[in-house]
Amino acid sequence: MENEDQVVQQTYEELIAACRANQPLSEEDENNIFRAFNIARNAHADTRRKSGELYIFHPLAVALIAVKEVGLGPIAVICALLHDVVEDTDITLDNLRAVFGDRVARIVDGVTKIDKASMIAEQNDDFSSQAENYKKILLAMCDDAYVIFLKLCDRLHNMRTLQSMKDTKKLAISSETQYLYVPLAHRLGLYSIKTELEELVMQYTNPDKYAEIAAKISKTVGTELKLKDCFTAPIRRLLDENHYHYVIKSRVKSVYSCWKKMQNKGVQFEEIFDLYAMRIILDLPQTQGLPFDEARKIEKEECFKVYALVTSLFRPQPARFRDWISNPKNNGYESLHTTVMSPIGNWVEVQIRTTRMDRIAEKGMAAHFLYKEAHPDETIQNSPVEEWLQQIRTSLEDPNKSALDLVEEFKETLYTKEIYIFTPKGETVKLPSRATVLDFAYAIHSQLGEHCIGAKVNAHVVPIGYRLHSGEQVQVLTSQKTFPSEDWLKEVQTPRAKEHIKDYLRNKKKEYRQEGEQKLHDFLKRHKLQLTPDRIARLKNYFNMESDIDLFFAIATNDISDEQLQQCFHLGKAQPNMLFLKPYQELFDGDRRGGTNGIAKQSGKAAPTLSPFLTDTDHENLETQPAPCCKPVQGDRVIGIVTNGKIMVHRTNCPNAIHEMSTHEDRIVRTRWRPGEKIAFLTGISIKAIDRKGLLQELTRVISEEMDLNMRAITLEASEGVAQGLLMLYVNNLSDLDKLMGSIRALEGVEHVQRV
């Protein structure tokens, strides 16, 4: 106990030292931090974490992350130390407000979870306590950005100490982190935190692949040392000859980044060409004391001079050049990126920036807020940070949106790259990448969007769904006879366009409500039935409608016919009940191999109801099925999600499972494979190869003869010398699948093999 108290005191002293290293602390700041520390230590005195350590170590660790890794100041430290006291102890917000003031109380309230018992909401399939908490955080973030910085620091420490949690909790927290906190760290420009969160998530959701790639990266140490001799040394000599003050840093791509590239590009680890990166950070004393615009102009010139020096030594790849100085990213990131060929045949990414740019790159949007706090009277024009927060505020003000809708819309703003489009008058409009003509029209004016029929892009006529590219000039074409439809929602990317379309459709549906309700009333009256809430609920469930308005609109516009209404209420001609067929239902509903949902029993015993999965005792009566989205096979790490009264079993790294676990933690069911069962699972493999005679014959030989597997379907199409195909086949386990993919990959001309 005495030793623990000593470690607590040492950690506190480390925190104070880190604060002083960041900025001078006033006597009042030090006193308030000391008060917060004592309140937190006393409040959590009898509490320990799942790992067994004293709870006070967690708020201290969060405060250290806020100071050392984000660069925040005393207010953030005080809030980090106190961030759990309201949620977990008897201390109230009023208590904190009385001691530390209103701002500290508001920030602590922002990071405090909503008490589930106090949630007043309809507990239906769309309700999510996690989404309600996200919404609360977003509201607080718009009021004070420190809320979201502290939530990220809190999440990072929770992920670092996740080992002691039970498996389902590990997956729930990891999925939530991947779903919301990783893209949020990206959007805020906190790249080191984003990278670490990605790595930690992968360790829990895909540990086997993480270990495999990590082992391969560790074997590249020799190459990294060679690069320092033949690549870094010549650059240093050239920079020294030109009298630059600089720092050079190097890194190897993270495990998660490698895996992501392997997935997106369909390549093997050995084919990743930008595994290594170098960062050149220039110190330019000549810019000190100059106005911002003048200093930035000099910085840009010097960065391009260094770029010229680097490319005079090594051949660049033109397609990999990125100028984030002329056009900074939407989180303020500035840098020049190029990829060059090293003397030993490896591509190396080179990033060139100044110390100011590097500070922004490391601290992201936090640098903006710290600057704003240090200069409260200074107005920052056209701040991308303020524009982003205003966009979120606008969304949050809409009373018609559920918490889930708000979170989904917010998430769309996080990973968005930007393009710059010109109007006919030469004005610039900033849009997210993949934005369409319709997005552009709504960005100009809602009326222009509502009547858009297409556009002239660089003098060529294109449809409303045409995806725009940076630098294009767009003239919107309209017709007063054109109005938004449901299909338009598929053609837009921006929240602004989506909201305008939804508002129009919502208002249009309201106009039809009375007509649809009257038609339904008349229909039921003809069949001597009354219009009741129960019958409306039955109709919504039968036709999969989200609201009364959607239902009445569909009836008014004849999307739901009288015949369909009769079927819903069983008012049509009675159908014979063919009970004698039920024992054979599986034969008709399953696939031609006798299984259901892509599962084929391989043992000799007949056990049609035996599931390949085992769950906990609380859910053992629910039917289990492999999820069709990720098609797990035996050996995959899996998790169950309760969906429509069944347990759908997903791979732990399945995007759909991650989404469900991050918004509906209460639906997670611990699931594992039933041992000793030999069951074949339907799975898919996509391939890409150089087209040649006999390719299909070799593929079928490998599958049928070499691996002794059964195929369900095979498609192979060739165009311009390239063959692409999809194989649907049955495998017993992950080992067989990996072996098969390796055999296919070894065939002559095969360039890409990937599980789907």
Q: What is the DSSP string of 516-544?
A: HHHHHHHHHHHTT----HHHHHHHHHHTT
- pLDDT reported for residue 74: 92
Q: How far apart are CA 312 and CA 306, in angstroms?
A: 10
CA 58 to chain CA centroid, nearest Å: 26
- pLDDT reported for residue 339: 92
- Specify the higher pLDDT residue, 572 or 8: 8
What does the pLDDT average to over 53-76? 92
- By residue range, what is the domain housing residue 269? 215-374
Q: Please indicate, yes or no, if residue 564 is contained in any of the structural domains.
A: yes
Read off the pLDDT band of 596 (50, 70, 90). Answer: very low
pLDDT exceeds cutoff 80 at 368: no
- pLDDT reported for residue 607: 42
Read off the pLDDT band of 591 (50, 70, 90). Answer: very low
- The percent of residues in the chain predicted with pLDDT above 70, rounded, is 87
Q: Which helix (H) or strand (E) holds 437?
A: helix 437-444
Assess whether 298 and 231 both reside in one domain. Answer: yes
Q: List Cβ neighbours of 234 (8 Å cut-off, separation of 6 or more).
A: 313
- pLDDT reported for residue 438: 95
pLDDT tens readout for residues 469-519: 888 999 999 999 888 988 899 899 887 898 889 888 888 888 788 888 888
What does the pLDDT average to over 637-661? 88
Assess whether 199 and 229 both reside in one domain. Answer: no
- pLDDT reported for residue 548: 83
Helix runs in 623-733, H state only: 655-663, 695-700
Average pLDDT, the chain: 83
- pLDDT reported for residue 381: 54
- pLDDT reported for residue 375: 62
What does the pLDDT average to over 629-633? 88
Q: Please indicate, yes or no, if residue 50 is contained in any of the structural domains.
A: yes
Assess whether 260 and 356 both reside in one domain. Answer: yes
pLDDT tens readout for residues 339-350: 999 998 888 999
Q: How far apart are CA 149 and CA 131, in angstroms?
A: 18
Assess whether 103 and 9 both reside in one domain. Answer: yes
- pLDDT reported for residue 67: 92
- pLDDT reported for residue 505: 85
pLDDT exceeds cutoff 60 at 585: no
- pLDDT reported for residue 515: 86
pLDDT exceeds cutoff 50 at 219: yes
Query: Cα dihedral sign for 278, 284, 290, 295?
Result: negative
Assess whether 265 and 340 both reside in one domain. Answer: yes
Q: Please indicate, yes or no, if residue 449 is contained in any of the structural domains.
A: yes
pLDDT tens readout for residues 238-279: 999 999 999 999 888 899 999 988 887 777 888 787 788 899
Tokens of residue 667, six digits: 């639906």
pLDDT exceeds cutoff 70 at 412: no
- pLDDT reported for residue 95: 92
pLDDT tens readout for residues 221-249: 778 778 878 999 999 999 999 999 999 99
- pLDDT reported for residue 606: 42
pLDDT exceeds cutoff 70 at 128: no
- pLDDT reported for residue 376: 61
Q: Please indicate, yes or no, if residue 210 is contained in any of the structural domains.
A: no
Q: Which CATH number fits the domain that encloses residue 165? A: 1.10.3210.10
- pLDDT reported for residue 579: 41
Q: Please indicate, yes or no, if residue 610 is contained in any of the structural domains.
A: no
**Exposure of 138 by Cβ count < 10 A (0-12 exposed, 13-18 middle, 19+ buried)?**
buried
- pLDDT reported for residue 165: 87
- pLDDT reported for residue 471: 84
Assess whether 287 and 149 both reside in one domain. Answer: no
Q: Which CATH number fits the domain that encloses residue 421? A: 3.10.20.30
Q: Please indicate, yes or no, if residue 739 is contained in any of the structural domains.
A: no
- pLDDT reported for residue 365: 76
Q: In a 3-state reduction of DSSP, which class is residue 670?
A: coil
Number of domains in the chain: 4
**β-strands 646-651, 638-643 pairing:** antiparallel
- Specify the higher pLDDT residue, 602 or 444: 444
Asked whether 510 and 410 are in contact (CB, 8 A), the reply is: no
Asked whether 466 and 452 are in contact (CB, 8 A), the reply is: no
- pLDDT reported for residue 693: 85
Q: Among 352-361, 387-396, 468-477, 501-510, where is mean pLDDT lowest?
A: 387-396
Residues in the chain: 756
Task: Report the range out of 214-228, 387-401, 574-588 with the highest average pLDDT.
Answer: 214-228
Q: How far apart are CA 45 and CA 32, in angstroms?
A: 19
pLDDT tens readout for residues 429-441: 888 888 999 999 9
Assess whether 137 and 187 both reside in one domain. Answer: yes
- pLDDT reported for residue 602: 55
Read off the pLDDT band of 397 (50, 70, 90). Answer: low
What residues are labeled active site?
87-88
- pLDDT reported for residue 122: 45
**H/E/C letters for each residue in 62-91?**
HHHHHHHCCCCCHHHHHHHHHCCHHHHCCC
pLDDT tens readout for residues 667-682: 888 898 888 667 788 8
Read off the pLDDT band of 605 (50, 70, 90). Answer: very low
pTM: 0.71
Q: Which CATH number fits the domain that encloses residue 301? A: 3.30.460.10
Cα torsion for 738, 739, 742, 743, to the nearest 10°?
A: -150
Tokens of residue 110, six digits: 């922002």
What does the pLDDT average to over 30-36? 94
- pLDDT reported for residue 66: 93
Instruction: Look at residues 678, 679, 695, 683 and name the one whose alpha carbon lies nearest to residue 729.
Output: 683
pLDDT exceeds cutoff 60 at 629: yes
Q: How far apart are CA 143 and CA 517, in angstroms?
A: 42
- Out of 316, 347, 374, a domain closes at 374
Assess whether 198 and 220 both reside in one domain. Answer: no
678, amino acid identity: K
Query: Cα dihedral sign for 593, 595, 600, 605?
Result: negative
Asked whether 627 and 648 are in contact (CB, 8 A), the reply is: yes
Q: How far apart are CA 345 and CA 327, in angstroms?
A: 31
**β-strands 613-615, 750-755 pairing:** unpaired
What does the pLDDT average to over 391-397? 70
- The percent of residues in the chain predicted with pLDDT above 90, rounded, is 30
pLDDT exceeds cutoff 90 at 361: no
Assess whether 120 and 41 both reside in one domain. Answer: yes
- pLDDT reported for residue 454: 92
- pLDDT reported for residue 610: 63
Assess whether 197 and 225 both reside in one domain. Answer: no
pLDDT tens readout for residues 293-314: 899 999 999 999 999 999 999 9
- Out of 458, 493, 528, a domain closes at 493
What does the pLDDT average to over 412-439? 82
Assess whether 104 and 192 both reside in one domain. Answer: yes
pLDDT tens readout for residues 135-156: 777 777 777 888 888 999 999 9
What does the pLDDT average to over 541-556? 82
Q: Please indicate, yes or no, if residue 183 is contained in any of the structural domains.
A: yes
Instruction: Look at residues 356, 367, 364, 365 and name the one whose alpha carbon lies nearest to residue 287.
Output: 356
- Out of 313, 347, 374, a domain closes at 374
- pLDDT reported for residue 413: 64
Assess whether 239 and 330 both reside in one domain. Answer: yes
Q: Please indicate, yes or no, if residue 220 is contained in any of the structural domains.
A: yes
pLDDT tens readout for residues 166-180: 888 899 899 989 888
Q: Among 102-111, 468-477, 592-601, where is mean pLDDT lowest?
A: 592-601
